[in-house]
Structure 1
Amino acid sequence: MSLLSTRGLSRSFAGLRAVHEVDFDLPKGEVRALIGPNGAGKTTFVSLLCGRILPTSGQVFFDGRDISALPAHRRIGLGMAYTFQITSVFSRLSAYENVALAARRRVHGRAEVDRVVMRALEQAGLHDRPDQPAGDLSYGHQRLLEIAMGLAQAPRLLILDEPTQGLSDGEVAAFKALIRGLKDSTTILLIEHNMSVVMETADRVTVLNFGEILAEGTPAEIHANAQVQAAYLGTG
């Protein structure tokens, strides 16, 4: 059964079709990568899924429920968590405090919050930086902190928009291991330009181009797809 799906999902801005009649299905327990050239509509599509913007037409379903008109905070309450390309950490708070704010949405009591926070920081590779102000972290570490904030919510669906942007090679390797470790407990939608991350972590890949789905398949199938090569991978 699909945890997340869309039917005829569209969004236009001043007559420009950013997303056009997208039918999309993400089964429970899958890691799905969403790729496409710049301007393909990926971030707009994800914003529609999360409720940051509402569709011009079409529907979004989460676990069988029509959530097309729900605001973002209500979707979070249903079990969706997401990070975006622009970091949204609280720069004056410590890494621990940032994650604790997210954790308190679902757990209470100092001991339980502490357990959840330290577990999320450990998963994100930030267990040695709990007291560091978020604003003092590198850009890459701020991205990892956002992921920790998402993990602290124990989401049913984790949406990550360009999570490896700004990460070092070692941090990217750790991120791949993190995604593999989450596969048994969390459905993941990953918007990513780093093709090694896509090829090594995704079960399936969806390719957007000009706001429409160009292709879907396994990483190997997408890599071999001539249309995708021409539109995105720069060959053919």
Structure 2
Amino acid sequence: MSLLGVRGLTRDFDGLRAVDGVDLDIGEGEVRALIGPNGAGKTTLVGMIAGRISPTAGRVTFDGRDITHMPAHRRMRLGMAYTFQITSVFAGLSVVENVALAARRRARGAAVGSAVAAALDRVGLADRGAGMAGDLAYGHQRLLEIAMGIVQRPRLLILDEPTQGLAEGEIAGFGRLVRDLAGETTILLIEHNMDVVMALAGRITVMDAGRVLAEGTPGEIHASRAVQAAYLGNGNDAAAR
């Protein structure tokens, strides 16, 4: 059964069609990767799924419910969490305070503290809780934002470029985290690092010029000539990492 369904989703900006009639189904418990060259429409599509961008046309359903015109905060209450392509942590608050703010959407009282501690431990920031979020390196801010997502115990976790700014060891840790989370939540992963995509995703959706170019398993996508021409070929796979 599909947890997330998208039908004919379209978005125009001043006469430019950024997303053009996209259909997408993501099943409960799936790890789905969304890839494509810069300007393919990935972030705009995800913005419409999360309720941060209004579609020009089309429909979004979540667990069988039409949420096309539902604001982002109400989608969060239904069980969506979205980490941004650019970090959105509160720089003037501590690491613990950032995660606690997110935790309070789901937990109350003493449960907040235990949920925060568990989330920070899972992303490898347990020893940095007292520090200011603004003092973290960029890669650690990315991990903090992931902690803010998972502490909400979402049914759908949308991760937009989560490995950007992470060191190799941190990327390996991120991979372990996603494998661990896969048993708890559905994950939509927007990612340029193809090693990460191929290792973690059960299925991959490829966008190009606002449309879905291809969809399939990592092996099918790797073998697709259309995908190679648009994205993976001519050295683009190395450049996209």
TM-score, reference length from structure 2: 0.96
- Distance, in Å, in 2 between the alignment partners of 1:7 and 1:29 is 20
Q: Does 1:217 align with 2:213?
A: no
- Distance, in Å, in 1 between the alignment partners of 2:162 and 2:171 is 9
Q: Does 1:13 align with 2:13?
A: yes
- Distance, in Å, in 1 between the alignment partners of 2:17 and 2:225 is 25
Q: Does 1:194 align with 2:165?
A: no
- Distance, in Å, in 2 between the alignment partners of 1:122 and 1:201 is 21
Structure 1 consecutive aligned stretches of length 4 or more whose deviation exceeds 4 Å: none
What SS does structure 1 have at the residue aligned with 2:96?
helix
- Distance, in Å, in 1 between the alignment partners of 2:127 and 2:153 is 21
Match in the other structure for 2:181: 182
Match in the other structure for 1:234: 233
Q: Does 1:172 align with 2:171?
A: yes
- Distance, in Å, in 2 between the alignment partners of 1:146 and 1:129 is 14
- Distance, in Å, in 1 between the alignment partners of 2:212 and 2:65 is 23
- Distance, in Å, in 1 between the alignment partners of 2:40 and 2:70 is 25
What SS does structure 2 have at the residue aligned with 1:128?
helix
Q: Does 1:118 align with 2:142?
A: no
Residues 23-172 of structure 1 mapped to structure 2, 5 A cutoff: 23-109=23-109, 111-172=110-171
**Cα drift, residue 32 of structure 1:** 0.2
- Distance, in Å, in 2 between the alignment partners of 1:199 and 1:40 is 19
**Cα drift, residue 235 of structure 1:** 3.5
- Distance, in Å, in 2 between the alignment partners of 1:43 and 1:106 is 26
- Distance, in Å, in 2 between the alignment partners of 1:220 and 1:126 is 34
Aligned residue pairs: how many? Answer: 235
Identify unmatched segments of 5+ residues in structure 2: 236-241
The code of the aligned residue for 1:233 comes to: L
Identify unmatched segments of 5+ residues in structure 1: none
- Distance, in Å, in 2 between the alignment partners of 1:83 and 1:146 is 6
